[in-house]
């Protein structure tokens, strides 16, 4: 929002200028306003989306039998549940049906 130096009325944007709606006075708009910032934010959002997609693809898979659909490949990750009486446990996610289960202790 910008106000006219001459008469104090609200000014409108017209290209690179502020133009007074009442007396017609003009003054140049300062740089580093809306235009440039919106462009930068848009680019950053695009990059974040790309990163998360590539992370999904990079998850490690292993041979594991899915009890749900019988598929023999699953993503896996190590998680520590109870520090006291249990060491790290492997959790699987089926690459086909997305079923999740934990590795049984034998």
Which segment (26-34, 39-47, 53-61, 63-71) binds Zn ion by CB under 5 A?
63-71
19, 29, 65, 71: residue in contact with Zn ion (rule CB under 5 A): 71
| Residues 75 and 59 sit within 8 Å (Cβ to Cβ) | yes
Under 8 Å between Cβ of 90 and 76: yes
- For Zn ion, the binding residue among 78, 96, 102, 103 (CB under 5 A) is 96
> Among 14, 41, 97, 103, which residue sits at the site for Zn ion (rule: CB under 5 A)?
97
Q: Which of 6, 4, 7 is nearest to 17 (CA)?
A: 4
Cα separation of 104 and 106, whole Å? 6
**81 near Zn ion (CB under 5 A):** no
Q: Rule CB under 5 A: is residue 61 a binding residue for Zn ion?
A: no
Contact between 4 and Zn ion by CB under 5 A: the answer reads: yes
| Owner of token pair 């690179």 | 16
Nearest approach, Cβ of residue 68 and Zn ion (Å) = 4
């Amino acid at each position: 929002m910008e106000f006219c130096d001459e008469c104090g009325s609200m000014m409108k944007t017209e290209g690179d200028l502020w133009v007074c709606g009442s007396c017609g006075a003009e003054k140049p708009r300062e740089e580093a306003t809306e235009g440039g910032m919106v462009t930068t934010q848009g680019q950053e959002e695009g990059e974040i989306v790309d990163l998360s997609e590539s992370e999904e693809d990079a998850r490690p898979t292993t041979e594991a039998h899915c009890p749900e659909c019988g598929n023999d490949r699953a993503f896996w990750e190590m998680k520590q549940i109870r520090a006291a009486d249990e060491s790290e446990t492997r959790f699987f996610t089926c690459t086909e049906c997305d079923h999740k289960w934990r590795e049984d202790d034998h």
